[in-house]
Amino acid sequence: MPKNIAEKSVEFAVPLKGIPETAVIQSNLPVYNAEQRDEKIANIKRLLKRENAVLVAHYYTNEDLQIIAEETGGVVSDSLEMARFGNNHPATTLIVAGVRFMGETAKILSPEKRVLMPTLEATCSLDLGCPAKEFSEFCDQYPNHEVVVYANTSAEVKARADWVVTSSIALKVVAHLMDQGKKILWAPDKHLGHYIQKVTGAEMVLWQGACIVHEEFKARGLGELIEKHPDAGILVHPESPAAVIDIADVVGSTTTLIKAAKELPHKEFIVATDNRIFYKMKQEAPGKIFIEAPTAGEGATCKSCAHCPWMAMNGLHNLEAVLESGLKSGENEIFVDEEIRQKAFRSTSRMLEFVAH
Ligand code: 13P
Ligand code: SF4
């Protein structure tokens, strides 16, 4: 345990409005029969090749998109690897299937590439809950703190930061800064910030944002589920509440959780993260059983129900559309103001350099 835990958790969050419900988003998506689905997939593969484009998809997108990315030389990964892969890949066009900050991160790192997304409506509650102006004012209150932001933020917020990190390397970066005697201003995810603080013992002030998906996981319901599955391994993403993290066998980024599913000896796992990750977990650990951590605890009804509403907006229909018409019209293309991009590049590219060493 760290010796000198010194955390100042300051209240600074912007209330969220108009959060979509995953079931509503899904009910508005087109439904295809097997033949139509196969046709769409074949057409998307053909268009990717024709346009010299590569598909960079997150583990939380639907299975069809993950399959296309894998079968066409793209990538399905966590947000850190999405950034790294997109930056290193020679394709002139990146199609980023995920949420907006992932597309913006790709553009920040690779301004010479065209970056398009199946939909620009797909955002993230952490990004929404941390507007640049309020964030900048928050930073002004702590001039002696190193500003470390989660990648789930806008380009403007990244531009104000000293460091951008993802859940894969947040602990290592904060530990590194702590070794240099730095105090940390962390934003926007309070749960991840609290977890980092607890593990490293760093002196931190925390912005009070949250992921609407992970925040729905309930420790009490999880405890009850564990009673029914006493031998299951518990895998938890650190955007979950502290009481859920405390029960975990493994806490980490999506990639860490997939690796644990593969490497741990357990035959079954209870997983507290977006359930679209099960596609990759089943692929990497065939024969093992994966159970969703409960989201509808006592007195609560789930809204995302373990699937991000914004990730759910990505589908075959809009992936095909962006390749068919977006490339010509510029619709759904990501643009970042050049002055902001240059500032955001400093804090974001640092993350990739840190991983490389
Ligand atoms: P990872 O970086 O672990 O993939 O997480 C991204 C994210 O948005 C989790 O909700
Ligand atoms: Fe944002 Fe949560 Fe969705 Fe990840 S799962 S993109 S953190 S809202």
Residue 124 Cβ < 6 Å to ligand 2: yes
The percent of residues in the chain predicted with pLDDT above 90, rounded, is 91
CA of 114 to the centre of ligand 1 (A): 23
What was the pLDDT predicted at 357? 84
DSSP per-residue codes, 308-324? -TTGGG--HHHHHHIII
- CATH 3.40.50.10800 residue ranges of the chain are 7-16+126-206, 22-123+310-356, 214-292
What was the pLDDT predicted at 297? 62
Ligand found nearest the CA of 25:
2
pLDDT (tens digit per residue) in 207-230: 999 999 999 999 999 999 999 999
Residue 120 Cβ < 6 Å to ligand 2: no
Average pLDDT over residues 34-41: 98
Most informative mutation of 253, 259, 271, 311 for ligand 1 (most atoms within 8 A of CB): 253
**End-to-end Cα spacing for the chain:** 26
Task: Give the closest residue (by CA) to ligand 2 atom 3.
Answer: 308
* Nearest-angstrom CA–CA distance, 254 and 102: 15
CA of 125 to the centre of ligand 2 (A): 6
pLDDT (tens digit per residue) in 235-284: 999 999 999 999 999 999 999 999 999 999 999 999 999 999 999 999 99
Residue 239 Cβ < 6 Å to ligand 2: yes
Distances (CA, A) of 165 to 137, 150, 353: 21, 5, 11
Superfamily of domain 22-123+310-356: NadA-like (3.40.50.10800)
What was the pLDDT predicted at 40? 98
Average pLDDT over residues 144-161: 98
CA of 113 to the centre of ligand 2 (A): 25
The atom of ligand 1 lying closest to the CA of 166 is 2
pTM, full prediction: 0.96
Ligand 1 pocket: which residues have CB below 6 Å?
A: 78-80, 152, 166-167, 211, 239, 253-254
Q: Residue 76 pLDDT > 70, yes or no?
A: yes
Q: Residue 158 pLDDT > 60, yes or no?
A: yes
The phi, psi pair for 186, rounded to 5°, reads -115, 135
Show Cβ contacts of residue 50 under 8 Å, excluding neighbours closer than 6 positions. none
Residue from 276, 322, 340, 291 nearest 136 by CA: 340
* Nearest-angstrom CA–CA distance, 277 and 56: 15
pLDDT category of residue 341 using cuts at 50, 70 and 90: very high
Residue 125 Cβ < 6 Å to ligand 2: yes
Average pLDDT over residues 4-20: 77
Question: How many Cβ atoms from other residues are within 10 Å of residue 71's Cβ?
Answer: 11
Q: Which residue has the higher pLDDT, 79 or 1?
A: 79
CA of 107 to the centre of ligand 2 (A): 19
The phi, psi pair for 93, rounded to 5°, reads -130, 130
SS3 call for 165? strand
CA of 3 to the centre of ligand 2 (A): 32
The answer to whether the beta carbons of residues 98 and 338 sit under 8 Å apart is no
What was the pLDDT predicted at 7? 67
Average pLDDT over residues 74-92: 96
What was the pLDDT predicted at 66? 98
The phi, psi pair for 71, rounded to 5°, reads -85, -5
The answer to whether the beta carbons of residues 178 and 199 sit under 8 Å apart is no
Q: Can you read off the two tokens belonging to residue 113?
A: 């590439």
The answer to whether the beta carbons of residues 192 and 104 sit under 8 Å apart is no
Distances (CA, A) of 150 to 129, 161, 220, 278, 279: 12, 10, 28, 24, 25
Tokens 């068919």 belong to which residue? 324
Q: Residue 83 pLDDT > 70, yes or no?
A: yes
Ligand found nearest the CA of 105:
1
* Nearest-angstrom CA–CA distance, 55 and 72: 8
pLDDT (tens digit per residue) in 292-335: 999 976 666 889 999 999 999 999 999 999 999 978 898 999 99
What was the pLDDT predicted at 17? 84
The atom of ligand 1 lying closest to the CA of 237 is 3
What was the pLDDT predicted at 301? 81
Domain 214-292 has CATH 3.40.50.620: no
CA of 151 to the centre of ligand 1 (A): 9
The CATH number of the domain covering residues in 7-16+126-206? 3.40.50.10800
What was the pLDDT predicted at 32? 97
